[in-house]
Amino acid sequence: MNENLRRQIAELTAVHKGLTNIVEGDAETILSGKVPFEASADGLETISDSFELELIIPHDFPEKLPQVKETGGRIGADYDHRNSDGTLCLAVPVEQRRVFFEQPTLLGFVNRLVVPYLYGYYYWKTYGRHPFEEAPHGYKGILGHYIDTLGLRGDLDALAVICFLFEHGYRGHHQCPCGSGLRVRACHGPALRAFHEHHTPETLLSDFIAIFEICFQKYQKGELAFPQSLRLQIMRILNRLKG
């Protein structure tokens, strides 16, 4: 564990004092204990609750974000937003990173991602519906995140965006991948820059695979046709990945 992580853990446990168990492994540190909180959200009730949590913090944090498990046996398989390995599915990866970068510390991670998630669970358990929006599962959730966040017309635009990010990163003077005909900086500039900044090579690749997979299936069914330029771009990317 490096000094930065040690400090981050100290900052986290100064606020969430119940996280008292620390087990340090080679590649990750596991922090566990009770996390009581009082949480409020605009227009919704304030709740007080406490969950038993386990935070699996990779030593290359914040390059990789922690995984979280609820160990008190409250959040069961009947809850939609739990992965099969028992980790809590806080958000699609790039959105996790978007929210995380609002306060890029372990404490920010818990307060901005974990606690809102637990609030959502509490609300769902109590009222049978979710207080905030939900993302569709799997690749659809990832695709949907791009479409919603950027206000895109459809799947093909999302594919163009992820290809653009994958191939160029951020280029303000290029044509915007959304198809508006404008330059990036005059169109989706800030949003694309944010995506670019929040992505790691790993999340970029997995998002590319997710969106390409959906579009490719639609292409195979004849529901979608790739324009020539996009097709060439995809070929370049796939070749690069093979290499």
Partner 1 sequence: MTVDITKYSKFLEHVANEIDIPPGKYQDAVDRYKAVGRWLEEGEYPECPGDVSIYPQGSFRLGTVVRPIRNGIEASYDIDLVCEMPLRKPETTPKVLKAMVGDRLSENQTYRKMLDSEGKRCWTLEYAEQDGVGFHVDVLPAILDGGGLLSAALAITNKDGSAYSWSASDPRGYGAWFDGKNRAATARVILEQRQEIERRAPAIFASVDKVPDQLVRTPLQRAIQLMKRHRDLGFNHHARIEFAPISIIITTLAAHLYANETDVYSALSGIVGKLRAHASLVEGKPIDRSLAGMGLVQRRSDGTWYIGNPVNPDENFADRWHEDDHARARAFFGWVDVLQKDLVNILAETNPRLLNEHLGRALGASAISKHFNILIPPTPVVETPPRIHIARPAKPWRRV
Binding of residue 207 to partner 1 (CB under 8 A): no
Cis before 201? omega within 30: no
φ/ψ of 238, rounded to 5, equals -65, -40
Decide if residue 38 touches partner 1 (CB under 8 A): yes
- State the residue for tokens 């370049």: 236
Stretch that binds partner 1, among 12-20, 65-73, 184-192, 225-233 (CB under 8 A): 12-20
Q: Is 130 helix (H, G, I), strand (E, B) or coil?
A: coil
> Which is it for strands 67-70 and 44-58: parallel, antiparallel or unpaired?
antiparallel
Cα–Cα distance, 55 to 114 (Å, whole number): 10
Specify whether the CB–CB gap between 171 and 242 falls below 8 A.
no
Residues 150-169 as x/- pattern, contact with partner 1 by CB under 8 A: --------------------
User: Which residues between 117 and 146 bind partner 1 (CB under 8 A)?
Assistant: 117, 119-120, 130, 132-139, 141, 145
Q: How many residues bind partner 1 (CB under 8 A)?
A: 46
Contact region with partner 1 (CB under 8 A), list: 96-104, 163-171, 184-192, 231-239 = 96-104
Query: Interface residues for partner 1 in 40-69 (CB under 8 A)?
Result: 40-42, 48, 50
One residue of 83, 126, 217, 229 binding partner 1 per CB under 8 A:
83
- Helices 93-100 & 189-198 angle (0-180, nearest 10): 100
| Distance from C-alpha of 16 to C-alpha of 95, rounded to nearest angstrom | 24
CB of 121 to partner 1, least distance (A): 8
**Nearest approach, Cβ of residue 240 and partner 1 (Å):** 25
Q: Which tokens sit at 208?
A: 């590319």
Contacting range for partner 1; rule: CB under 8 A; set: 82-90, 170-178, 181-189, 195-203: 82-90
Are 122 and 41 spatial neighbours (Cβ–Cβ below 8 Å)?
no
| C-alpha 228, offset from chain centre | 31
3-state secondary structure 44-110: EEEEEEEEEEEEEEECCCCCCCCEEEECCCCCCCCCCCECCCCEECCCCHHHHHHHHCCCCCHHHHH
Of 90, 156, 159, 234, which lies in the binding site for partner 1, with binding defined by CB under 8 A?
A: 90
Secondary structure letter of residue 161 according to DSSP = H
Segment contacting partner 1 (CB under 8 A): 57-65, 86-94, 172-180, 181-189? 86-94
Q: Judged by CB under 8 A, which stretch of 51-59, 95-103, 172-180, 225-233 contacts partner 1?
A: 95-103
Residue 96 as a binder of partner 1 (CB under 8 A): the answer is: yes
Sites of contact with partner 1 (CB under 8 A):
15-17, 36-42, 48, 50, 80-84, 88-92, 95-96, 98-99, 102, 111-113, 115-117, 119-120, 130, 132-139, 141, 145
